[in-house]
A and B are shown apart, each in its own frame.
Chain A
Amino acid sequence: MKSLQEIQQICETMHPELELRHEGSTEAKSKYEKHVLICGGTGCTSSGSMEIVDTLNKELVARGLEEKIQVVKTGCFGLCALGPIMIVYPEGTFYSRIKAKNIPQIVQEHLIGGTPVKELLYDETVTDEGIKSLNETSFYKKQHRVALRNCGVINPEDINEYIARDGYKAIAKVLNEMTPEDVIQCILDSGLRGRGGGGFPTGRKWQLARTIVPDADQKYVCCNADEGDPGAFMDRSVLEGDPHVVLEAMTIAGYAIGATQGYIYVRAEYPIAVERLKIAIQQAREYGTLGKNIFGSEFSFDIDLRLGAGAFVCGEETALMTSIEGNRGEPRPRPPFPAEKGLYQKPTILNNVETYANVPQIILNGAEWFASMGTEKSKGTKVFALGGKIKNTGLVEVPMGTTLREVIEEIGGGIPNGKKFKAAQTGGPSGGCISAENYDVPIDYDNLIAIGSMMGSGGLIVMDEDNCMVDIAKFFLEFTVDESCGKCTPCRIGTKRMYEMLDKITKGQAELADLDKLEELCYYVKANSLCGLGQTAPNPVLSTLKNFRNEYEAHVLAKKCPAGVCKDLLQFTILPEKCVGCGLCAKNCPVHAISQGDYTAPGKKRAAFVIDASKCIKCGVCMSNCRPNAISRG
């Protein structure tokens, strides 16, 4: 148990250490000469960053440098495509895709010799004028980090480092200076809206939970960390990189609504996040920032973890609560809303991880500061998980109102291999595909809905000309069919029928009238489903029907897949004017569908090969083996 003064003392003592982690901060009075930060998030761990931490620690001990150089295992830096990532402060030099075998060289030349190993640095930071720091790269320059401010900066397993970055200062301010009503007013004024996708005003939710049942004997604060949208990993990164911020924010929420117990519902598929949350909760209990009479006040609050078990529908608020109660995670009709009857029929608020990550900063810096960022109706910043056909896959945080073009071209580095942008998918299975004509629309909650998509939790998957939009719609429908809980008929049967219709289209068996039928069914499912899963499941279909109708029509009328994805509609042909007659295609064909024909094109020495379409299984092996690129697909 620590008193407020002791916490302040830790903040002051630790401060110089954290100060060192700004580039060029030679003034910092750290105990160490250098800090080496290595990403311990899921992305970098998967590409071997823990081996690098071990090797580096051993190397430092072997050379007697462990007192001079501190190795810090952090959360996600965001640039997952370049992992494993290592940053050396105070210089801020940025090593990317390093391997354990590079460590002795880096220690010798850089940490001892003072000269960074140029060939191992992220290439964009190496310029003629010298080595640029991380924050000057195009990936980081346009970002504005609020929710992610500690990710990649602190050691998430050390509460002291969180405290050094003003951690637990907001809850201290709340308990000492603010009434619950003040807290709610502050969140209301900030304009913070739910980052899980719906965009409901957070302050309004808290206000309802505080007032709607005046004599409630028990209330609950829940955190939705069941990040199920495929391609979205921002919540995971916050939990892995800065778990204490969620605990602090939930405690603030507990004070605001009058709850004493919180639950974090987190995906079991995120083992690193679960582990760090467990450590954080234990440390917070030891320090007394969770538990009875926090900082000597009357207010007590504790948090427990509940692990999800792989059901997408549990991201829906009522389903999540049903699951915490130990049941099948099926949603229930609203009203009554959880603010009135939530977990165990008690008033409950549920916010998502990223929403909570903003709260302590709003309390400390004021509602006006937060409201100064973003657009008229969407304040603050939003974290996006960039994925798909994009150079810099990873996590970015930008002010609301940034355009898709800025995010994809400038921060994301554009589309690789010289391909053209075709669509960006936001909002996962609940969202839609945004076409190139909306490339310059400022991204916020309302604009995305206006163009037929939605914010969702913030997955942003980029697609190029090689992706078939009908196939993508089918992919999402397959997901929703699989994840539909089956409780209500429109969703259970409607999504299945939609999937079957899409399947027919991709097989070239549909007629034009089927497109209208499909659209009609979409609106029916949208209007009649019980919960958000079914109500939004048609979005991927509706948005692609609207923005890429010509592609649907090509499948239906010409029986062609313009992107060359839908196998049933594909045809491989060998162009005789390009074929050199080498026979590599025939040799590699798994079903012996290729043989030499008898036509020799002018100027060629040997007769061209031909594909027997009736035998071809459209595997594409011939194409990948053809050196003169003589095989066309279409």
Chain B
Amino acid sequence: MTDLTHLTLTEARDALKARRISATELTKAHIAAVEQARSLNAYVLETPEIALAQAAASDAKLGRGEGGPLEGLPLGIKDLYCTKDVRTTACSNILRNFVPAYESTVTSQLWRDGAVMLGKLNNDEFAMGSSNETSAFGAVVNPWRRSGSNVVAGAGGVEGSHLVPGGSSGGSSAAVAAHLCLAATATDTGGSIRQPAAFTGTVGIKPTYGRCSRWGIVAFASSLDQAGPIGKTVRDCAVMLRSMSGHDPKDTTSVDVAVPDYEAAIGRSVKGMRIGIPREYRIDGMPAEIEKLWQDGIAWLKAAGAEIVDISLPHTKYALPAYYIVAPAEASSNLARYDGVRYGLREQGRDIADMYEKTRAAGFGREVKRRIMIGTYVLSAGYYDAYYLRAQKVRTLIKKDFEDVFAAGVHAILTPATPSAAFGIGEKGSADPVEMYLNDIFTVTVNMAGLPGIAVPAGLDPQGLPLGLQLIGRPFDEETLFALSEVIEQAAGRFPIPSRWWS
């Protein structure tokens, strides 16, 4: 029998419905794969008992011809999503022992629809990072290796200088690519779904701001954070997103708009659709393979009947600097709650202020501390107008750039997902944090404007590593993104991991 972990989410769904496999065997296959892949460090907590109990319940339902859209399908959950009675840390020492008494809205919808939880996935601390290197649980190993790489499975773990899986949803992208779950939840504040998907040959969609409830997801920057899935295929992501989406009265920014059947959008004709190619995304020093990837994407969409138009998004270059004011400002406010009083770590101090300062110094990692301090500075008296207010005005202009293009009849925008393939651990950002931040140059505009964006694998670089294209859509038009990205997926083929070298 073929390895059940190599099925896609929708293949597994169909096999379960047809009773060709059981949820229990599917789940056991994944639990074994997770155990054999501990050296990748994708999971920070494995929950096999929960998974097997859920799988047994799913088998009972499927046996009666019942079951939800995700019945019996094993998933990984980013450790930013609160899971009732299951430790949730945001991969920070300050929440190392936090056990929520409640379930995030998005995960509760996954369980409502029958999904099975394999465990909690690694991420950058509080989702602040682009490489998963800031996690308190350590870095995640990208299951992809450069051709001729020295990375091997040793007795004590992975040896050699491995690649990063992207971030902040690096555990999610690595787990999906390595077949350690059928699909995973992720979150995206500046590119944290799309960039790791691009680095691992997987598909990731950040839906429109307000599409998924943020309730019960550890907050980083509330006006930018959105939940979304990482999956093996476009179709898998469509099925996941339908279950994750929907209005939630507990999140005031959650939008009360009906959730379409995203899977039905796949295969829909893209003939006559106008696809914008923004000239500002053609950055200096862009590698030739990224340019080629982009041209390939243009050719594939053209061949499917889409019309390609050159467009301009004049404020593109200001998105990243504006983001690095808005996101730290919101983070400094959101993370004020970690005070050593209500939950999380506490370090003793001589008085309450000293207790706060020692607790936060011990509990937060360096990246988080720096962002809180920058946020505190840009919001402080005398600097608010110069930094924060100006950045929010620039954000209005960035959003208007997109609105103008959509008003002119463009249905979606095609760009590269990242400026390069996955890089090596420790290679970026040690001297200057901005070097790491530049990874999000193509994705961050989308968060600033609240738009949906999908990353789909489209080719390999000369070292054999996957590269992704990004499609950006109109607000609440994820369906068009699914239709278009499936055209790319059909043309480019899928990019499964070449070998399970780690097990």
Whether A associates with B in a native complex is no
B binding-site residues for A, Cβ under 8 Å: none
A binding-site residues for B, Cβ under 8 Å: none
